[in-house]
Amino acid sequence: MFELERERLVKNLIIEGYIKSEEVEKAFLKIPREAFVPDSLKMRAYMDTPLEIGYGQTISAPHMVAIMCEALDITEGQKILEIGAGSGYHAAIVAHLVGEKGHVFTIERFENLAKQAQENLRKTDITNATVETGDGSEGLEKNQPYDRIYVTCASPGIPQPLIDQLKDYGKLLIPVGRMYCELKLIEKKGEKIASKNLGGCVFVPLVGKHGH
């Protein structure tokens, strides 16, 4: 029912330069965003904007999900950690990118959102993404180290546990700021950390021990 809208959105994201790779294009064509938003907002699922998902939180705009997926250079088989599961949509896209041999762990501080996100993933037949409830500003110790970690909320800085839980040559993508943020891509190379600014963005705040 939403296929035409989905195709149109993907076409626009390509024209606008947000989707660059075939892999990200395929993931966006496959994952039904309407299954990750409340019933009352389904008709707006293919607008390129954030939408309310309850508890004052939002599902990110599709172009932001695309920017982050392209920047992280995700490949099949990787183990990935997301901070801020929200609706589970971004995790679903990443789960598609890492394929059956990979896995996405995503952590959410609101238990009800975490339950809803896991249910959204189940409904859409995604079996390689697991939602945990807890304070993601401390990362997720039990499955570390990760190939990639990305944060979908605004962080005051770069939480040390996230660096510690990255593999060597792993990458961390994190919006740093209060609401208006700079999206930073951090690469861990042994003891060294390389950091690149990817531009401005807006996110709800990361709270918790290493949050606001």
Residue 204 in the binding site for ligand SAH (CB under 6 A): yes
Residue 87 in the binding site for ligand SAH (CB under 6 A): yes
| x/- track of binding to ligand SAH for residues 36-75 (CB under 6 A) | ---------------------xxxx---------------
The upper half-sphere exposure of residue 187, i.e. CA atoms within 13 Å in the direction of its Cβ, equals 8
Residue 113 in the binding site for ligand SAH (CB under 6 A): yes
Residue 25 in the binding site for ligand SAH (CB under 6 A): no
| x/- track of binding to ligand SAH for residues 141-180 (CB under 6 A) | -----------xx---------------------------
The upper half-sphere exposure of residue 99, i.e. CA atoms within 13 Å in the direction of its Cβ, equals 8
Q: Which is nearer to ligand SAH, 2 or 110 (CB)?
A: 110
Is 40 catalytic? The answer is no
Q: Write down the least CB distance from residue 191 to ligand SAH, Å.
A: 27
Specify the stretch interacting with ligand SAH by CB under 6 A; choose among 119-127, 171-179, 194-202, 203-211.
203-211
Residue 107 in the binding site for ligand SAH (CB under 6 A): yes
Residue 211 in the binding site for ligand SAH (CB under 6 A): yes
Name the site residues for ligand SAH (rule: CB under 6 A). Answer: 57-60, 83-84, 86-87, 89-90, 107-110, 113, 135-137, 152-153, 204, 206-208, 211
